Structure formats: C-alpha cells, structure tokens
Amino acid sequence: MNISPLDIRKHEFKKSIRGFDPDEVVTFLDMISIEFENLIRENSLMKEKIVALKCEEWGIEPTPEDVKVYSGAIKPAFINEFQRKVTIAVFGAAKAAGRMVA
C-alpha cells in the first residue's frame, strides 16, 4: 500500500462516544506526515548519492538523466548499464591506444 503525507493529513476517522480526542489525533497525524515527508526527501537524496558514488567508483561522469532515472529506484539495471558504459569506454580507449602505438 502506497501512502503519501497528504493521505495521512486528509484521513478522517469515524467518531465514537468512547473515541480519542479528535484534536490530539489531528495533531499527531500532522507530526507523522511531516516526518514522512522528511523521510521521503532523505531517501531520494540517498538514492542520488548512491548513483553519484557508483559513478565515481567506476570513473564515469553521470549524466543528469542517469541520476534522474537511477535515483528513482536503484535497480540491477543501473549496475548493468554502467558496467556496459565502462566496457565500451575501456574498449574504445584500448582501440585508440592501439592506433597510437601502431
């Protein structure tokens, strides 16, 4: 189940005679939704950081599209795609070096 901070804020509970204090519930839900927003933002930043660190580790300059696509959801495809880019770059460098020597 996907839940957003807005879902938390907008959720309404049934009223009952022996229920909770509605003001206290609303205050608590507001606090939870704010914390949830912060966690979502932090998670997104961490995913972007992972992309940047992987690119740095592999000696690749990430394009803005790489960061956008792969920070949304870190997937094995991310690793495969960058390994493919590295392989192409290595073979290209080796080919160029071979031409320089010959």
Q: What is the mean pLDDT of each run of 10 residues along the chain (102 residues)?
A: 81 79 85 89 83 77 67 59 71 68 49
pLDDT at 85: 72
| Domain edges within the chain | 5-101
- Give the integer Cα–Cα distance in Å for 70 and 77: 9
**Rounded (5°) CA angle 69-9-18:** 145
pLDDT at residue 57, as a whole number: 79
Q: How confident is the model at residue 5, as a pLDDT? A: 84
